[in-house]
Structure 1
Amino acid sequence: MPSPLDAALPASAEIEALLTASVGARTTIERVEPLHHPWVLRAHLAETSGLPDTVVVKCRRPEGYGLRSAEELTRCEHAALAFIADDLRLDLAPGLHAASPDSRLLVLEDLYPRTELAALLHRDGHTAALDAELTAFASSLGELAAASAGRAALFNARRTALGTGADRLDDWEHAYAGLWRNGLARAAAFGVPLPAAAERDLETAVAELADPGPFLALTNGDPESHNYLTGPSGGGKLIDFEGAGFRHALTAATSFTVPGPDWLGVSGPEQVEAFRRALARTVPEAEDDQRVGFGLTSASMVWVMTRTGRLNTLDTRSPGDDSRTQMVTLLESGARTAEAHRVLPHLAAWCRSTATLLRHRWPDTDIDTAASYTWRER
């Protein structure tokens, strides 16, 4: 029996009609192949009419995630890619060849043979060459933030024109979206409640993200290395703008300070500096050590508290499960970030003490976690 997703996938004729209307000349598809997600396809073109031999077709997902419906995810990516190419004039993301009026189908530049940076890190480890790619990734994130700072109204106008309601344009929390509150409650239930002083630190961090000031800029919403494609000749590109929105720019640098879902450990002082240099081109406040340190630590700590909501789940997992070690590393890296910038000391102390408790409660996690970009087997 066909799945709902199968029914939602476009026929070749629908993609051909969309491209033909876009380029003004008949375009014929020779074949279509699925890619890493069932709603992402590669179309091979027989008659290109000036287009490349292949394009990528991104279809509406069967359901939404986070704060956004499936419809809003594609509308947002549509708006973001047009905004980056036409308003910011940046070559940092895949080009948009065509889009259906309701954004259900997006036809994008095919970035092959570029490869996910995360896949290369997983395969080869943290080599000098890949460290340079990480730095290029960070620079790209910073360049996007620098070019977009102060231009939220223009981006939101594009979203509104595509059907986004005015009540859906406040993106400052995005993936954090209040989930840090769950982390706060789950930590208490786990037996490691935040002391009042640490909770005040957390509230201060949240307030910083809620009022970014000059740091309000566009991020793709998931600034992890699997969303950066790179190749042997360079020219890396950022991908996946379904979660794009204007929020505190330094939320885009947290993947270099605290581990995301794929990593046991990260170590990215060079990457943070590359991001900061790029951002400072248009945001002079990025030269201020104190402001950057506080913003970066705030973003990192809110992410830590968001992931802390998993404590009870991890407690039921078997010894040796990587996700347990990742939690310890997450807490310790958050504390290191705060200590390096001499901010949020009470929250940093709570992270340290909780990590110590976990190392005793989960003896399999009592190991050296200082290695850079260590992959987590999931």
Structure 2
Amino acid sequence: MAAPKQIFRVDALQNLLTDLRDVPVTVDRWEHVEPWAVARVWLRSAAALPRSVVVKWIPDGLRESRNALWRLRSELAALQFLSEDLDVGLAPRVLAADTAAGLLVLEDLAPRVCLDQLLRRDGAAAHGDRLAAFARARGALSAATAGRVDTYYTRRGKLGPVDAAADQVGRFAPLREGAIEHASALGVPLSGRSAHEFTAALEELAAPGPFLALSNGDAEANNILLHASGPADARLIDFEFAGYTHALTDAVCLYVPGPAWLTVGDPTTTGLADQYRHALARGIPGAEDDRRYGDGLAAASLSWALIRLHRFALLDTRSPGDHSRLQLIATLEAAAHTAETHRALPHLTSWIRRIAAVLRRRWPDADQDFADSASFPPYRARH
């Protein structure tokens, strides 16, 4: 059971649902989905409600936090936008909400489970169909929402202040500057043609044109639910950081390791790249343009690698063998490989490879062959 400060107010939930349905609704039992402020709740009522729902709440200690309120409002707006404005079955439906009480009541998507749980348990080879569904769902979200930015922000603005420009830049973007400083301290300063291409990459991400689309803000395998077997009927979750940004930032997770993984494999050989791109092109025809697509994907991948490089100072203090060191080098090299595959940003890519080479020399324990599929299969977890 959660600590008291983490428990949602059962009476507030019962009152919310009772008022909504005009008949008494009682919480029968509930189960905390740790470590988040999320619970699966079983209900008793004569109302036409599901037997179980998922409740997300703001813990008491964060009830007045601007950031917590902003995140709850963003999730509410994004989920209602997808289900009510667009009518696409890509995410859970909102059943009830009380922003003042910090409560969201969502459709329970069980028995679906998080994809990352399946990958950790069984390995990627056992879940090719579900990885393909993951790739399609990421592309489908962008395809469905491209061109609807005004509709989303009109809905989001009714719930409270929002900075659309900040959404577009991305909440991690400021970390790139620290990464550039680390690179300089390592003896690999950003200069000349590399600096010019870095500026071009930032301009691509800041002005996505037709690639402007809604993202949930965390496009990783832990934020998609699928059936462990049978049809790969995917649903995306966790829209707390939702906002419109460059669609191809959501493709990076297929090419470059996220926080949970040491490797993700090569999506061009597994077919995941095509699954994503075909789904994306249904709503963004420009995705079929190799040059435009490659430039955007390279910019997004290299940007993500720099965002991860901001952790260098922390990782440099860790003991040899720490998986985070392996992960940082793998991330830099995977981003460089992605740009090289799409023949984009060659000088910036070379700069990233030089940083990775310096880290391999600095951390001999992390100087390993990530192409060795026996030691580093796709979706090998970071410990």
TM over 0.5: yes
Q: What's 1:320 paired with?
A: 321
Structure 1 range deviating more: 238-247 or 195-204: 195-204
1:30 is paired with a residue of what secondary structure?
strand
User: Is residue 51 from structure 1 mapped to residue 34 from structure 2 by the alignment?
Assistant: no
* Cα distance in structure 2, aligned partners of 1:320 and 1:314: 11
Q: Does 1:147 align with 2:150?
A: no
Q: Which moved more, 1:77-86 or 1:195-204?
A: 195-204
Distance 1:48 1:348, change over 3 A: farther
Find the aligned partners of 1:226 and 1:112 in 2 and give their Cα distance: 15
TM alignment of 1:236-251, pairs within 5 A: 236-251=234-249
- Per mean C-alpha deviation after superposition, the further-off stretch among 335-344 and 73-82 is 335-344
1:193 is aligned, of 189, 193, 201, to 189
CA drift of 1:254 comes to 0.2
CA distance in 1: counterparts of 2:319 and 2:379, whole angstroms? 20
Residue from 127, 132, 147 that aligns with 2:129: 132
Alpha-carbon distance between aligned partners in 1 of 2:178 and 2:256, rounded to the nearest angstrom: 19
2:23 and 2:45 in contact (8 A); partners too: no
111, 114, 120: which one aligns with 2:112: 114
The CA distance in 1 between the partners of 2:105 and 2:273, in whole Å, is: 33
Amino acid at match of 2:304: W
CA distance in 2 between counterparts of 1:34 and 1:287 reads 44
Amino acid at match of 2:97: A
Bigger mean CA deviation after superposition, 117-126 or 229-238: 229-238
Which residue of structure 1 aligns with residue 27 of structure 2? 29
2:304 corresponds in structure 1 to: 303
Give the 5 Å matches for 1:89-104. 89-102=87-100, 104=102
Q: Give the aligned partner of residue 218 of structure 1.
A: 214
The answer to whether structure 1 residue 275 and structure 2 residue 294 are counterparts is no
For residues 248 and 53 of structure 1, what CA distance do their matches in structure 2 show? 38
Return the alpha-carbon distance in structure 1 between the equivalents of residues 252 and 191 of structure 2: 24
Distance 2:10 2:243 in 1: 32
Query: What SS is found at the alignment partner of 2:168?
Result: coil
The aligned counterpart of 2:254 is 256
Would you say how many aligned residue pairs link Structure 1 and Structure 2? 371
Q: What RMSD, in angstroms, separates the aligned Cα atoms of the two structures?
A: 2.0
Of 213-222 and 188-197, deviating more is 188-197
Q: Which residue number corresponds to residue 78 of structure 1?
A: 76
Deviation at 1:169, TM superposition (A): 5.5
Q: Is the 8 A contact 2:262 2:326 kept in 1?
A: yes
Cα distance per residue 1:130-155 (max 9 Å; x no partner): 12211101111111111110101111
Shift of 1:168: 5.3
Partner residue in 2 for 1:159:
156
In 1, the alpha carbon distance for the partners of 2:280 and 2:219 equals: 15
| TM-score, reference length from structure 2 | 0.91
Identity of counterpart residues, as a percentage? 44
User: What's the CA shift for 1:63?
Assistant: 4.9
Cα pair distance change 1:7/1:265, threshold 3 Å: closer
Q: Which amino acid aligns with 1:373?
A: P
Query: What 5-or-longer segments of structure 1 have no aligned partner?
Result: none
CA contact (8 A) 1:190 1:311 kept: no
Q: Is 1:373 paired with 2:374?
A: no
Q: CA deviation at 1:101?
A: 4.2
